[in-house]
Amino acid sequence: MNTVNVYIKGQEDKELISFLRYFPSRIKNIGMDAVFDRQIVYDYKDGRNHLEVDAAVVRVETVQQMAERLCAADNILVLCHKNPDGDTIGCGSALCHALKALGKTAAVLCSDAVPSRYSFTAPVPFRGEFEPKTVVAVDVASVQLFGENNGVPQYTRHVDLCIDHHTGNSGYADFTLLDGNAAATAELLYEVISEMGVEITPLIANCLYTGLATDTGCFRFSSTTANTHLVAAKLILAGAQVEELNTLLFDTKPRERMEAERIARNHLEYHLEGRCALMYLTRDEIEQSGVDPADLEELTSLPISIEGVKVGLTLRQQPGGSYRISVRAAKGVDACAIARRLGGGGHTRAAGCELLGNLDNAKSAILAEVEAELDRPETQEES
Ligand SMILES: [Mn+2]
């Protein structure tokens, strides 16, 4: 594999530099100047691995460039990530409504069914009624996250545009608008839709508010910034129905979800001298409770809410038997570092990975990584 020189035009940007360190084996030098916006210009030492190197480095677009590309496109397919959450669905729906407002043909495709609580976002589902000319991904950090169902793979071989806020975005799209400081992709998409000259209707405002509110745990997570609140304020002015949305998104739970929580709480365990709390649900238990697996997402905040716990783990067995592990970390502990060592990823406070094998193997593998992270000298100082 050849290494590249990465030249960043723009002011020193810690977020971008921390993003680039995901590719240490590919990057030889990082150079800076202060001319334009965030943009990466790179040199090839050898054309042979051109494509591989090309795919490894994200070419970061500005909001304006992304808006121009969307305005110039038609027959647009918007792709969400698998196991869809409020951000990817809210963004998929909002972008689709905005494109349609400009008279374009657009629809949304997702590998998994849209959870019923998000049906008010009114996503226009793609059923093959047009031949997509432009494929846009929203809130999708890597190709693997597109999923395999619903005919998705035939459209993920070539993704034209990507709008995302995951710093670990693998750069699979031709053009990527990436802002790791955005608490949700919706925060970034608000700027794009405004730049496209589309009026933020109450429906679009509701969609974007859903993305903002769900990705920030109703504006409580550390990712929430002043800009997150500013965008939320503009969405409220545009007609977002905050009270109804918050009740629907945060204060309403199906009985099946309560039943699953009861079972998971019975499995609560403490490890590493109480610094790590763990809960799990087997496939049988998930099926027995009748819960929609999408409704289990928010269970992942329970173990970390216990006093003294630095890392909270939630293990959910998937239909194929593997365990999906959600890692939540207290201040000073890096959840993403834990998940990444097991092939996963995410954010500093919330990350995840998936492990094959039985429950005991999955537990011991993740606990070993949690212990390594908690015992890191830097972690001890910070926490
Ligand atoms: Mn998101």
Q: Which pLDDT band holds residue 174 (cuts at 50, 70, 90)?
A: confident
CA of 220 to the centre of ligand 1 (A): 15
CA pair distance 248, 87, nearest whole angstrom: 15
Q: Report the percent of the chain where pLDDT is more than 90.
A: 68
Q: Mean pLDDT for the chain?
A: 86
| Cα separation of the two ends of the chain | 38
Q: What is the pLDDT of residue 379?
A: 75
pLDDT at 128 over 90: yes
Going by C-alpha positions, the residue among 99, 356, 82, 275 that lies closest to residue 204 is 99
Look at the alpha carbons of 146, 152, 153, 158 in this order and tell me if their dihedral is positive or negative: negative
CA of 163 to the centre of ligand 1 (A): 10
CA of 146 to the centre of ligand 1 (A): 14
pLDDT at 284 over 90: yes
Q: What is the pLDDT of residue 41?
A: 38
Residue 256 and residue 295 in contact, taking contact as beta carbons nearer than 8 Å: yes
- Biggest CA pair distance of the chain: 60
Highest mean pLDDT among 171-185, 236-250, 283-297: 236-250
Q: Report the percent of the chain where pLDDT is more than 70.
A: 84
Rounded to two decimals, what is the model's pTM? 0.74
CA of 213 to the centre of ligand 1 (A): 10
pLDDT at 300 over 70: yes
CA of 317 to the centre of ligand 1 (A): 23
Look at the alpha carbons of 293, 294, 296, 301 in this order and tell me if their dihedral is positive or negative: positive
Of 5-14, 105-114, 143-152, 290-299, the one with minimum mean pLDDT is 5-14
Contacts of 7 (CB under 8 A, 6+ apart): 30, 31, 32, 33, 40, 41, 42, 43
3-state secondary structure 29-49: EEEEECCCCCEEEEECCCHHH
pLDDT digits (tens, 9 = 90+) for 36-52: 233 343 333 333 322 23
pLDDT digits (tens, 9 = 90+) for 75-116: 999 999 998 999 999 999 999 999 999 999 999 999 999 988
CA of 185 to the centre of ligand 1 (A): 5
